Amino acid sequence: MFQLARMDAMGKDSLLGKTPRFTDRAHRTVTGGAAFWPLITDTDRAAWHDRQPSPPDHSDSYQSSCCSEFEPNSIIPTRQMSSESLFDELSSLLVECPNTMGLQSFLPQSDLDKAITKESVKDALPFMVRALNGRLPEKVVQNAKKVFAILVIIAKPIAIKDLLAEGIADTHLPLSRGEGEEANVLLSANGAKFKSFSAFKHEATKLTKDFLEKQWLVQAPVMDTAGKHIILDQRCPLPFVEMDPIGAGQYSTVYRTALHASHQQGIKLHDKKHAVAVKEMKKEDAFNQELENLHVIQKIGNPHLMRHFATFKKGPVYYVVFPWAGGGSLKDFWEREDRNPRAPKLVLCALKELHDDSRNIRHGDLKPENILHFGRGCEGILVAADVSVSRVHGHQRTNMRRDPTKSLATTRSYEAPEAGIKQTAARSREYDIWSLGCIFLEFIIWLLYDEKAIDNFTSTRDPLDYPFYKIHEGKSVVHPKVVLAIQYIRDDERCKGSAALNALLSLIEEKLLLADVESRDTAEDVHRKLEEIYKKAEQDPVYLGTDFAPIPNKPLMFRRRASTNLIPSTTAIPE
């Protein structure tokens, strides 16, 4: 994790000698020699003052008459102070964006819009410029807020007049530098050239360099839900105000990240802190495979499959931004809701989610830990997620490390029988049907008994993988303990009183948990049959069942305590 220290370590007068307005995780730096860029430093402040015009000679009759005629109480030194005030305001609004390549800062879009107004632009410009260019502030606000903010930061707001005359706008950013005789010419990606800095003669080189350096302060991207792939310069900050590493695999790290509110459009965030999950990858091949999978999910359009918000390439590093599941995983849901009474509404809710999750499933590693819960209680939805992302949502990961008795199940527990015989075979959609059958059965066990009953049931199967099948004489068969569990559930009076649960159990036994791949139902068939069960249960309370109160004595296999010395390691996130 990032090692954090107060910004005070940078010096009392860091960032212009003022305490900038940051989030509650501000005032920090990244150790290990990470760079700080692009920040505004004391050197910038000194340069800002050096570039200010000398106070005018008040004996100059022309200057005096101009000031008297247009604005008697306004003189250039007053405008200088107003420009400095805007400079200080912009500096104080910078937000830190921590990342693994160093600490960067950005000016949030919402703060930029508030700071750069017609009035503030007018106040930051010398009197004569305003007097002779009456519509200048309006043009800045309409098309060049970012450009003007950069000019204020490098102490040359007056340059906006000629740059606007050349047609510059915020859409031209970021700019680059010309070569040779055009070394002080600003170039846009679309081929536009802006030569205004050349007029400043001996200052031109420094102004050009400073502009290109400070432009990144206003370049943090705005994300939407389109799943765009955005290529960023390494100097461009990401719109994150927190970035806490919470899980790592061989090729990736996942962070719980706070997204700045003004840098997102149309994203339904389930957290007041605008939390998102960010997966960082440094291997191009791994990212390309991830991107291919994401595009497939996006085309399917199933709300119960995890979709990404955006992907970024920033220098040599790749990022994938996902929604953050505040409700954790399905395993977390079972634990959190375990004490709530098993009312018919909860059973109906479970049927609905199982029905929704069965649509267009093709995952390859389905298990409760890879199914995320968005929202609260029955009002939320379940979403099948990428393994490396799902393992770090909620608190399941840390709980399992602290308490090894929390769960015995591993990735292989939910594997289909064909994985045990043909390890190199490609996984078909029917592979996921088996995994669904395992999860559905555990869901019923939770509904009728409790979360501990699931772990106790798991412990009755073969360690260390605890599969739902056995290999007998080279052939796969459903594990005898699974067959016994289904029989116990079928004999439960509450299941007998619920035609819906009985139908679901029959579907699991007869169409999902079948060792023969070809005999399993397709995802479409499962979805259709679950829809029939759910609709009947929704319309007919008797079909759903009315009595789901806990019974005094659970079947022995659901009461047996799990052994703690058979638990596999869960300290890493598989790729």
DSSP state of 391: T
In one-letter notation, the amino acid at residue 536 is K
In one-letter notation, the amino acid at residue 326 is G
Query: Which residues are paired to 240 by β-bridges?
Result: 259
Pairing of strands 310-314, 228-232: parallel
Burial group, residue 83, by CB count within 10 angstroms (0-12, 13-18, 19+):
buried
Any known ligand binding at 279? yes
How many CB atoms are located within 10 Å of the residue 50 CB? 9
In one-letter notation, the amino acid at residue 327 is G
Vertex 135, ends 131 and 141: CA angle to 5°?
125
- CA–CA separation, 498 and 450 (whole Å): 18
Peptide bond preceding 464: is omega within 30 degrees of 0, i.e. cis? yes
Vertex 222, ends 217 and 224: CA angle to 5°?
170
258: part of which helix (H) or strand (E)? strand 252-259
Looking at beta carbons, which pairs linking 46-52 to residues 24 or more positions away fall under 8 Å?
A: 47/154, 47/155, 47/206, 47/210, 48/84, 48/87, 48/153, 48/154, 48/155, 49/155, 50/155, 51/154, 51/155, 51/156, 51/203, 52/80, 52/83, 52/84, 52/155
Pairing of strands 252-259, 176-177: unpaired
Both tokens of residue 49? 């003052």
- CA–CA separation, 575 and 279 (whole Å): 12
- CA–CA separation, 487 and 483 (whole Å): 6
- CA–CA separation, 201 and 545 (whole Å): 85
173: part of which helix (H) or strand (E)? none
- Give the three-class secondary structure for 277: strand
- The Cα-based distances of 155 to 49, 52, 58, 152 in angstroms read 8, 7, 23, 5
Residue ranges of the annotated binding site are: 279
Instruction: Show binding-site residues for ATP.
Output: 279
